[in-house]
Structure 1
Amino acid sequence: MLAGLQNVTFEFGARAIIEDTTWHIQPGERIGLIGYNGTGKSTLLKLLVGQYTPSSGTVERSRTTSIGYLHQDLLSFDTNDSIFEVALSAFERVIQLEKEIEEIGKELERTGDEKILIEYTDRLHELETLGGYNIHHKTEEILQGLGFSNADLQRPYKSFSGGWRMRVLLAKMILQQPDLLLLDEPTNHLDLPSIEWLEKYLLHYQGSVVIVSHDKYFLNRMVTKIVELYQQTLHIYNGNYEFYETEKAVRLDLQQKAYENQQDYIRQNERLVERFRAKASKAAMAQSIMKKLDKLERIEEASIERPNIRINFRVDKTPGKVIVELDKLHKQFGDNVILNEAKAEIERGDKIALIGANGKGKSTLLRIIADVESFEGERKWGHNVEESFYAQHQLEVLNVNNTILDEMKECGSQMTDVELRTLLGCFLFSGDDADKKIKVLSGGEKARVALAKTMVSKANFLMLDEPTNHLDMHSCDLLIDALKKYEGSLILVSHDRYFISKTANKIWEIVDNEIKEFKGPYDEWVAWKERMAKQQQAEQQAQKNKPAVTEAPAKKPAPQPAPVATPEPQANAGQPINKELKKELQKQQRIFKQLEEKIEQLQAEKNQLEKSMSDPETYADKSKFLQTETAYNNIAAQLQTLNKEYEQIFEKIVELEG
């Protein structure tokens, strides 16, 4: 065991965070620590590293266990050193050795003493053992993986914003390679490429990792165990987030049934007490029953903590077919050109996710659409468009002297106080929180108020910049549900892939200073990108294997961001058509189309079975559950086989066309 809790209780004042909890972290584990906001996930990490002392029980740590802990408080660190030097400081002993070797080398040159020579070679050997000759390369590699360019590496740490500073500190922590890595919401500071890089890196990390995150995609791909903090207890699930969701539904169903059975038992016994209490001959029996009820360990109601509340939008006006038209957009900051001659159009019903790496201009484009950023070119609103823009820098528009409830009332939504309080519950303001003044709120709380205001604005076009940053998973799910039902149009910037996959029906990406549109949801866009990468790889390989010819090859059209359709036979102009080749190509295309149809059919069946498996009624009938589970596993296996065949046929078609 690396670290853990043994029968730990921890309290803030009268409020218990955990009660009599045991949790052991073993070597090589990748754990997702989850729970509603405010339940104490970050507190647990602080207990593990010794920043807090438990009220009772013990925090166990091996003497030899090294722990790395990434958290928001680290941002108080500041320095004039370059980010490369900050990250490189992870190799404290190696840097010390380099200085010692330099000093001993000078001494050796001066004296030629044999003892100093031995000392010099010993230091060189230790440097080699610690991998000291590779530290500069490793540091560059990690920083670049987290999104820094070569030009950034020598820039002062203090010149970067909070999010980028956190990346530098994450790089330093990864380079230290502690036995146990504790990461508190690391993906909040990363763009999509960096999140994907971190996923791949952590999958092969030699130590153990505990990560607090609300990114479901990240947890599904990275963790092998979920630990949920729920009702002052840790519930452990040996699987990824999808496994946890399925198993939790079963556990809550069983807990709810046990709770209802116990309530029936309590009511029956209380009725007996009432009947016997007045009779002297039965008073002792009544007393005995009451003592038994007092000693009874009460089962909590399963659905007690956070009920599912529906957020309903009210859209007053229906806009015209075109929401906004962008033409010949040009935007640059100094020498950095973001957009050049860019054009795009947002139509009624579009729900667009604007994605890509940080620094590509996503938020800039969103601000241009919202008309709060200067630019060259044209931006035209359509007919009857009522827009609402949410971004964290919009927080200054909040009236700091208002209570949260008063601020919500000023939106003109005509919702009652009860409706507004219910809505605020979705944004993590429960009970009396709604009566707090804006001026006493933290930055994250103000962001949630601004987002709630956007939601009740009656706008028919929403512009949302990182709306999930300060929400927990439950609130994200409520927001997803609301945006699915939203009758208006929207464009959003987010690094939360699960959120994007559930809300967007189109993807925008800024490529070569232009806006590229993909007409389809995120999962299809990812599949398309992978197919394009494979196609490009196959074409490059075919080009390498192709014998040299004297005439120049025909110019290929630039690939367009649209789903790959069944490839059509092509013939090079001026060359005779190989009939056998054409026949084989047509045969492969038929197989390709049949495979596509079969995959689509099986995917629909799989989705239906997933719904059945998430239905508590399925678990009530054991034979029905086993039957459903077997059918699901069979279809999943078939899909895996067909997808491999699909890729092979596609590559064959590309080869035949070449």
Structure 2
Amino acid sequence: MILACHNLNKSFGERVIVKDGSFHIEEREKAAFVGVNGAGKSTVLKMITGEEPTDSGNIILTKGKQIGYLAQQQNPQSGRTIYEELKTAKADIILLEQQIRSIEQELKSLSGEALETRLETYNRLMSEFESKNGYAYESEITGVLKGLGFQEEDFEKPADTLSGGQKTRVSLGKLLLTNPDILLLDEPTNHLDLNSISWLETYLLNYPGAVFIVSHDRFFLNRVVTKVVEIEHGNIRMYSGNYKAYSDKKKQIRDARMKEYLNQQREISHQEAVIEKLRSFNREKSIKRAESREKMLNKMTLVEKPLSDTDEIHFSLEPACVSGNDVLAVEGLSKQYDGQVLFSDAEFEIRRGEHVAVIGSNGTGKTTLLKILNGLADADSGSFSLGAKVQIGYYDQEHHVLHDRKTIFEEISDDYPALNHTKIRSTLAAFQFTGDDVFKLVGDLSGGEKGRVSLAKLMLSEANFLILDEPTNHLDITSKEILEQALNDYTGTVLYVSHDRYFINQTAGRILELANQTFVNYIGNYDYYLEKKEGLPPAGTADAKGASKGSYFHAQKAGPAESEAAALSQASASKQSWLEQKEVQARERKRKNELRKTEEQISLLEKRCQEIDELMTHEDVYSNSVKCQELAEEKALHSARLEELYDLWAELED
């Protein structure tokens, strides 16, 4: 074990971040830390590093071990170039190298005992230099930089002048090169393209230390981690396996708890009805039974209803009208930027109902393509045309379509003046903006909040052709799943850019890869794309079918007698189970039938006893002693029979 957290507690005012939270990370273990946005993941990481104090609890790091932490926001202000910034991660090796070179100069002028002493130091330093892979540190820096998407011409750029995403990549590269014993990574795949994410997966899988990752990239987590730590409503739980195993297990647990809760609620309702019925018999014995059941009910340990994430977004997409079959036609489209050709003579078509994902490395021109299609940028040559009745809804990852000086409410009401106050409020509430939140200025919102405002506007647009630029950025996993469902239910056409491979797998039926200044078409989702790229036989091909057939015949090695005996045994067991089930069902039907008949008899006799009581108040009856005697005897018989029926009803009910 390299890191252990015991009984952590942390609150900000009345908001509980974590309550008695405990988890641990083993050496070399790759673990994920998951939860909805705002659950407290980043706060827990800061508590581990000491940036944020705990209210109580213990954080134990194995003695002599070092932590490396990558926060979401990075802003190196060193005056160094990108290469120089990463070089600082190898400062110890560089110092060793300088000492070795200095001694090499000294050795030329030494002799005798002084030479022997200096040679010993030289050999010791050389041994340390070699053990730290000193000869390869420059190529290691270059490999990390290229893996993270930097080209050699970028190496000499000043780090201070980079964008926020580039600075984060520089900081990630620097952290990886320091080789700490445990890496704490907060959203490391943000700002990485598909190739860089794939490179990072391989790097972390082979990393000799432990890794604790906060990420909403489900594909990445499925590939890298073997344990998931979840924070939900202040509680921390651990699950074995990758993200899919965690997701499946969590659903099973929640379904089981919900089933247990609903069963108990049904039992409580049933017992309350029985108690009420017993009290209605108005006899000492029945009242005692009712009181006994009431005591048992009060002693019952109540099962809490499983909590759901209240901070989910809720929306659906529906086009106002159906477009023509031909939605988009691109012919000979070309664009270059700062002398660099992004794409040339691009040609493709999109038909109604298609869901098309555009993928490619950073800087290849994917976002530029979407801007051209939306009239926000001009192509250098070529053209595109939209089909009949096509109405575009655009989601811009930089949110330029939003106005920083407007409130959230004004952003919606100005674009959709026909909506009344209540409709705007309810729409924004579906995207987690409630109360005074709707009067926040757009310019003061976080990236995730701006994304939710853009999604709200997209939902209201009723467009039949959605063009989306990185729609899952800043969304937590729950929100991504809701967006996936909305897109899969959407009957219009979708063209989007994304680096989220899991999202692409769930929502795309076709992929356009922008590589080498041209678009390559793949009819399928991301898994199909990988099969084609890696040269594997796609599922359903002759090779794949052959492999399946081979596996099938391999499984048929048991002899015919053994197979027949096993089949007969299984059939016999199934028949026995079926007979037992039918017997139980028959007994239950009989009990319910007897209970129904008993209730009917009780009802009839109680009604007759009431009628007798009523008759005894009539003058022509109470003045007739013979008639009174007959009615009294009849009621006595009915009362005795009711006593028997009350007992029988209670037994049948039990």
What TM bracket, shorter-length normalisation? 0.7 to 0.9
Mean alpha-carbon deviation: is it higher for 445-454 or for 471-480?
445-454
State which of 299, 311, 315 in structure 1 corresponds to 2:315: 311
Q: Is the 8 A contact 1:339 1:513 kept in 2?
A: yes
Q: Label 1:349 to 1:305 Cα distance change in 2 as closer, same or farther (>3 A).
A: closer
- Residue of structure 2 equivalent to 1:468: 472
Unaligned runs of 5+ in 1: 277-285, 536-562, 567-590, 602-622, 624-658
Q: Label 1:136 to 1:394 Cα distance change in 2 as closer, same or farther (>3 A).
A: same
Q: Is the 8 A contact 1:37 1:428 kept in 2?
A: no
- Provide the rounded CA distance (Å) in 2 between the counterparts of 1:173 and 1:342: 39
- Provide the rounded CA distance (Å) in 2 between the counterparts of 1:86 and 1:169: 8
- Residue of structure 1 equivalent to 2:247: 245
- Provide the rounded CA distance (Å) in 2 between the counterparts of 1:232 and 1:270: 34
State which of 389, 394, 413 in structure 1 corresponds to 2:394: 389
- Residue of structure 1 equivalent to 2:587: none
- Residue of structure 2 equivalent to 1:191: 193
Q: The residue matched to 1:189 in structure 2 has which SS?
A: coil
Q: Label 1:439 to 1:298 Cα distance change in 2 as closer, same or farther (>3 A).
A: farther
1:19 is matched by which residue type in structure 2? K
Write out per-residue CA displacement over residues 228-260 of structure 1, whole angstroms, 9 at most, x where no aligned residue: 111211111101111112111121123334445
State which of 209, 213, 216 in structure 1 corresponds to 2:215: 213
Please state how far the C-alpha of 1:185 moved relative to its aligned partner: 0.9
Write out per-residue CA displacement over residues 154-192 of structure 1, whole angstroms, 9 at most, x where no aligned residue: 322223322122112111111111111111111111101
Q: Label 1:414 to 1:516 Cα distance change in 2 as closer, same or farther (>3 A).
A: farther
Write out per-residue CA displacement over residues 531-590 of structure 1, whole angstroms, 9 at most, x where no aligned residue: 2xx69xxxxxxxxxxxxxxxxxxxxxxxxxxx8997xxxxxxxxxxxxxxxxxxxxxxxx
Q: Is the 8 A contact 1:32 1:223 kept in 2?
A: yes
- Residue of structure 1 equivalent to 2:525: 521
2:369 equivalent to 1:365 = yes
- Residue of structure 1 equivalent to 2:27: 27
- Residue of structure 1 equivalent to 2:625: none
- Residue of structure 2 equivalent to 1:569: none
Q: The residue matched to 1:305 in structure 2 has which SS?
A: coil
Q: The residue matched to 2:24 in structure 1 has which SS?
A: strand
- Residue of structure 2 equivalent to 1:2: 2
- Residue of structure 2 equivalent to 1:70: 70
Q: Label 1:173 to 1:438 Cα distance change in 2 as closer, same or farther (>3 A).
A: same
Unaligned runs of 5+ in 2: 280-290, 553-573, 575-654
- Provide the rounded CA distance (Å) in 1 between the counterparts of 2:361 and 2:391: 30
Q: Is the 8 A contact 2:34 2:215 kept in 1?
A: yes
Q: Label 1:43 to 1:269 Cα distance change in 2 as closer, same or farther (>3 A).
A: farther
Mean alpha-carbon deviation: is it higher for 105-114 or for 5-14?
105-114
- Provide the rounded CA distance (Å) in 2 between the counterparts of 1:296 and 1:123: 72
Q: The residue matched to 1:196 in structure 2 has which SS?
A: helix
- Provide the rounded CA distance (Å) in 1 between the counterparts of 2:66 and 2:257: 38
Q: The residue matched to 1:392 in structure 2 has which SS?
A: coil
Q: Is the 8 A contact 2:404 2:444 kept in 1?
A: no
- Provide the rounded CA distance (Å) in 2 between the counterparts of 1:529 and 1:97: 44
Q: The residue matched to 1:357 in structure 2 has which SS?
A: coil
- Residue of structure 2 equivalent to 1:374: 378
Q: Is the 8 A contact 1:467 1:494 kept in 2?
A: yes
Write out per-residue CA displacement over residues 582-625 of structure 1, whole angstroms, 9 at most, x where no aligned residue: xxxxxxxxx659549979x9xxxxxxxxxxxxxxxxxxxxx9xx
- Residue of structure 2 equivalent to 1:47: 47
Q: Label 1:594 to 1:183 Cα distance change in 2 as closer, same or farther (>3 A).
A: closer
Q: Is the 8 A contact 2:397 2:473 kept in 1?
A: no
Write out per-residue CA displacement over residues 105-156 of structure 1, whole angstroms, 9 at most, x where no aligned residue: 4444456643444333332232222221111111111111122222222322
Correspondences of 1:631-650 after superposition (within 5 Å):
none
- Residue of structure 2 equivalent to 1:36: 36
Correspondences of 1:564-575 after superposition (within 5 Å):
none
1:60 is matched by which residue type in structure 2? I
Q: Is the 8 A contact 2:359 2:366 kept in 1?
A: yes
Q: Is the 8 A contact 1:426 1:478 kept in 2?
A: no
Please state how far the C-alpha of 1:193 moved relative to its aligned partner: 0.9
Q: The residue matched to 1:476 in structure 2 has which SS?
A: helix
Please state how far the C-alpha of 1:262 moved relative to its aligned partner: 6.5
- Provide the rounded CA distance (Å) in 2 between the counterparts of 1:163 and 1:150: 18
- Residue of structure 1 equivalent to 2:158: 156
- Residue of structure 2 equivalent to 1:398: 403
Please state how far the C-alpha of 1:63 moved relative to its aligned partner: 2.7
- Provide the rounded CA distance (Å) in 2 between the counterparts of 1:409 and 1:196: 43
- Residue of structure 2 equivalent to 1:236: 238
Q: Label 1:299 to 1:18 Cα distance change in 2 as closer, same or farther (>3 A).
A: farther
- Residue of structure 2 equivalent to 1:83: 82
Please state how far the C-alpha of 1:496 moved relative to its aligned partner: 0.4
- Residue of structure 2 equivalent to 1:57: 57
2:164 equivalent to 1:165 = no
Write out per-residue CA displacement over residues 75-129 of structure 1, whole angstroms, 9 at most, x where no aligned residue: 2222332212211211221122223334444444456643444333332232222
- Provide the rounded CA distance (Å) in 2 between the counterparts of 1:364 and 1:345: 18
1:525 is matched by which residue type in structure 2? Y
- Provide the rounded CA distance (Å) in 1 between the counterparts of 2:420 and 2:250: 35
Q: Label 1:396 to 1:514 Cα distance change in 2 as closer, same or farther (>3 A).
A: closer
Q: Label 1:126 to 1:426 Cα distance change in 2 as closer, same or farther (>3 A).
A: farther
Q: Is the 8 A contact 2:333 2:379 kept in 1?
A: yes
Please state how far the C-alpha of 1:325 moved relative to its aligned partner: 2.0
- Residue of structure 2 equivalent to 1:95: 94
Q: The residue matched to 1:248 in structure 2 has which SS?
A: helix
Q: Label 1:389 to 1:485 Cα distance change in 2 as closer, same or farther (>3 A).
A: same
Q: Is the 8 A contact 1:354 1:491 kept in 2?
A: yes
Count of aligned pairs: 535
Correspondences of 1:523-542 after superposition (within 5 Å):
523-531=527-535
Q: Over aligned residue pairs, what C-alpha RMSD do you find?
A: 3.5
Q: Label 1:371 to 1:161 Cα distance change in 2 as closer, same or farther (>3 A).
A: same
Q: Is the 8 A contact 1:468 1:476 kept in 2?
A: yes
Q: Label 1:243 to 1:593 Cα distance change in 2 as closer, same or farther (>3 A).
A: closer
- Residue of structure 1 equivalent to 2:353: 349
1:383 is matched by which residue type in structure 2? A
Q: Label 1:594 to 1:85 Cα distance change in 2 as closer, same or farther (>3 A).
A: closer
2:402 is matched by which residue type in structure 1? V
2:483 is matched by which residue type in structure 1? L
Write out per-residue CA displacement over residues 17-40 of structure 1, whole angstroms, 9 at most, x where no aligned residue: 111121111112111111111110
Please state how far the C-alpha of 1:519 moved relative to its aligned partner: 2.4
- Provide the rounded CA distance (Å) in 2 between the counterparts of 1:430 and 1:84: 46
State which of 444, 449, 453 in structure 1 corresponds to 2:448: 444
- Provide the rounded CA distance (Å) in 2 between the counterparts of 1:264 and 1:56: 40
1:362 is matched by which residue type in structure 2? K
State which of 478, 486, 511 in structure 1 corresponds to 2:482: 478
Q: Label 1:155 to 1:39 Cα distance change in 2 as closer, same or farther (>3 A).
A: same
Q: Label 1:46 to 1:259 Cα distance change in 2 as closer, same or farther (>3 A).
A: farther
- Residue of structure 2 equivalent to 1:15: 15
Please state how far the C-alpha of 1:413 moved relative to its aligned partner: 8.8
Q: Is the 8 A contact 1:395 1:450 kept in 2?
A: no
Q: The residue matched to 1:91 in structure 2 has which SS?
A: helix
1:438 is matched by which residue type in structure 2? V
Q: Label 1:420 to 1:527 Cα distance change in 2 as closer, same or farther (>3 A).
A: farther
Q: The residue matched to 1:479 in structure 2 has which SS?
A: helix
Q: Label 1:23 to 1:356 Cα distance change in 2 as closer, same or farther (>3 A).
A: same
Q: The residue matched to 1:186 in structure 2 has which SS?
A: coil
2:9 is matched by which residue type in structure 1? T
Q: Is the 8 A contact 1:350 1:489 kept in 2?
A: yes
Write out per-residue CA displacement over residues 452-481 of structure 1, whole angstroms, 9 at most, x where no aligned residue: 212321111111111101111111111111
Q: Is the 8 A contact 1:426 1:475 kept in 2?
A: no
- Provide the rounded CA distance (Å) in 2 between the counterparts of 1:69 and 1:79: 19
Q: Is the 8 A contact 1:310 1:482 kept in 2?
A: no
- Provide the rounded CA distance (Å) in 2 between the counterparts of 1:120 and 1:596: 59
- Provide the rounded CA distance (Å) in 1 between the counterparts of 2:300 and 2:63: 41
Mean alpha-carbon deviation: is it higher for 182-191 or for 101-110?
101-110
2:137 is matched by which residue type in structure 1? I
Mean alpha-carbon deviation: is it higher for 182-191 or for 371-380?
371-380
